Structure 1
Amino acid sequence: MDLKDQLKNLFPEHQETEEPKKEKSNIWLQDEPILCKYEKRKGKPITILEGYNGATSDFKLLAKEIKTKLSVGGSFKDDKIIIQGDFRDKIMSMLKDKGFKVKRVGG
């Protein structure tokens, strides 16, 4: 006997309701492509994303999502996402799946 059956025994007149499904909406607004740059700082490679013209809070959420999916460190400073390491190809494919226009700069 699972939990649902036990609850039906305790509350026979209760009607089960379905949870509403949440749809992900594309909340980011963008006119020009996001620039995906590669640089070396102090001998270590980094990937920089800049050129986003939407809300700053949305760009911060995007930075957090990229860092967790790639399992890397990074930061958000001066309207730029800085990711530790050279992950241009993976980041560009992730952004294209979300509907962004992405332009590769620097190699």
Structure 2
Amino acid sequence: MDLKDQLKNLFPEHKETEEVVKEKTNIWMQDDPIICKYEKRKGKPITILEGYTGATEDFKILAKEIKTKLSVGGSFKDDKIIIQGDFRDKIMKMLTNKGFKVKRVGG
């Protein structure tokens, strides 16, 4: 017996509705490349993304998406995305697939 069948037995008068969840994908594309660089702070590697000229909210959404897909920590400070760990290759691939131009700096 499937979970849906069990729920139908418990709530026979309930009608299923489909909810459409729309993601915000209107991120402003820019002409200048986003700079992706690698640093070590207190002996720990970090990846820094800077140079985005669009809205701050769009950059925060992009930061959250990167952190979620890579399952890592990070923050957004001073118009820079700081990701814990060296993930330059994966981040650059993700941004290129989204249509951004990315420039690798440092190493």
TM-score range, shorter chain: 0.7 to 0.9
Distance 1:64 1:51, change over 3 A: same
Aligned mates of 1:95, 1:63 — CA distance in 2: 11
Letter of the structure 2 residue corresponding to residue 45 of structure 1: P
Residue of structure 1 in register with 2:74 after alignment: 74
Give the number of equivalent residue pairs. Answer: 101
RMSD: 2.7
Shift of 1:57: 0.3
Letter of the structure 2 residue corresponding to residue 61 of structure 1: I
Shift of 1:28: 1.5
Aligned mates of 1:23, 1:76 — CA distance in 2: 20
* Aligned partners of 1:47 and 1:86 also within 8 Å: yes
Aligned mates of 2:98, 2:44 — CA distance in 1: 28
Letter of the structure 1 residue corresponding to residue 73 of structure 2: G
* Aligned partners of 2:29 and 2:100 also within 8 Å: no
Residue of structure 2 in register with 1:87 after alignment: 87
SS of the aligned residue for 2:52 comes to coil
- TM-score for the superposition, normalised by structure 1: 0.78
Pairing 1:53-72 to 2, within 5 Å after superposition: 53-72=53-72
Aligned mates of 2:29, 2:48 — CA distance in 1: 19
Residue of structure 2 in register with 1:103 after alignment: 103
- For structure 2, the 5+ residue unaligned runs are none
In our comparison, the structure showing a higher alpha carbon Rg is: 1
Aligned mates of 1:23, 1:74 — CA distance in 2: 22
* Aligned partners of 1:31 and 1:53 also within 8 Å: no
Pairing 1:3-22 to 2, within 5 Å after superposition: 22=22
Residue of structure 1 in register with 2:51 after alignment: 51
Shift of 1:29: 3.0
Residue of structure 2 in register with 1:14 after alignment: none
